Amino acid sequence: MINSRICEILGIKYPVFQGGMAWISDGKLAAAVSNAGGLGIISAMYGDVDHLKQEIDICRSLTDKPFGVNLMLMSPIAEEAAQVIADKKVPVVTTGAGLSTKYMKLWGEAGVKVIPVVAAVAFAKMAERAGACAVIAEGSESGGHIGETSTMALVPQVCDAVKIPVIAAGGIADGRGMAAAFMLGAEGIQMGTRFLSAEECSVHETYKDMVLKASDVSTVTTGRRFGGNTCRCLKNTFSREFLKKEYASDATPESVAEMGVGALRKAAIEGDTAEGCFLAGQIAGMVKQRQKAGEIVNEVVSQAEALLKGAEKWVK
């Protein structure tokens, strides 16, 4: 059975995280992944903190396995959500878009294990120094807000820089990606896009259909021009209009920032193909069918195990 330090640290069976996707990853999806032996993760970016409390309770009612909450530290509700995570003694928190140093004491005292999502070596080092038990090195092929460096280039550089376990995220859709991540030095993987097609995923059916129909060149990045806000989503009317306005001569950082407001909710909840922003990673083209979340975990793990066991066949 595939196994690494992160399994011991978190008390999970398989080193497979389900990414915390804003407006998408709820208690039901997280519980399904955790019940299958992975680490299900609820997104705190899904309404207000009352909603977060509710999803944590739903998750706990559906599984007795460890699960996590993903918190974007730049969110207006970050402070409140951080307190909820501590109060509810959530087993694991993954953090994005900032440094979690501020909450390390609060979470440490509550027994919450902290795993920051990092897109560069310097942030991985800072996370380790601050007491994180692992880091998620997220490549720029991921969906949503991304850094600049790809998984293939980022993971080995992060592994060389820290001693804590590194979880690879971005560009991973199946057991091939998982086995590759281990060869790069990672001890686990996180997948977001692949779980969009899960039966337990409550995202709008139109969203699922768009992912299932995607190819290798179906995503695009917005928010590059003025820096610091690059975001990967599926090509559609919204992203085409966004890019047209972003690169127009009269665009300003403010006008670009305004365009994104509410677009993610419109995609995830309403399935609005014209005005919704459908976040997805470059592996959307590899998602081919609706499946139970547990089936996804088992399929990915079995394929990775077979590949790793058989890897020596290449060395004759």
Binding residues for a second copy, rule: CB under 8 A, are 1-4, 120-122, 139-141, 148-154, 156-158, 160, 170-174, 176-177, 179-185, 215-217, 219-220, 224-225, 247, 249-250, 281-283, 285-286, 305, 307-309, 311-312, 314-316
Q: How many other CB atoms are there within 10 angstroms of residue 61's CB atom? A: 11
Burial class (CB in 10 A: 0-12, 13-18, 19+), 93: buried
Q: Shortest approach of a second copy to residue 282 CB, angstroms? A: 4
CB nearer a second copy, residue 61 or residue 215: 215
Q: Is 301 helix (H, G, I), strand (E, B) or coil?
A: helix
Q: Is 188 helix (H, G, I), strand (E, B) or coil?
A: strand
Q: How many other CB atoms are there within 10 angstroms of residue 205's CB atom? A: 9
**Type and span of the H or E element at 303:** helix 293-309
**Type and span of the H or E element at 307:** helix 293-309
CB nearer a second copy, residue 180 or residue 210: 180
Got the DSSP string for 34-65? HHTTSBEEEES-SS-HHHHHHHHHHHHHH-SS
CB nearer a second copy, residue 4 or residue 202: 4
Q: Shortest approach of a second copy to residue 217 CB, angstroms? A: 5
CB nearer a second copy, residue 74 or residue 217: 217
CB nearer a second copy, residue 285 or residue 294: 285
Q: Shortest approach of a second copy to residue 227 CB, angstroms? A: 10
CB nearer a second copy, residue 141 or residue 272: 141
Amino acid in position 230? T
Within 8 A by CB and 6+ apart from 103, the residues are 82, 86, 114
Q: Shortest approach of a second copy to residue 19 CB, angstroms? A: 15
Q: Shortest approach of a second copy to residue 218 CB, angstroms? A: 10
Q: Shortest approach of a second copy to residue 78 CB, angstroms? A: 25
CA-to-CA distance for 276 and 268, rounded, in angstroms?
Answer: 8
Q: Shortest approach of a second copy to residue 215 CB, angstroms? A: 7
CB nearer a second copy, residue 26 or residue 138: 138
CA-to-CA distance for 116 and 134, rounded, in angstroms?
Answer: 7
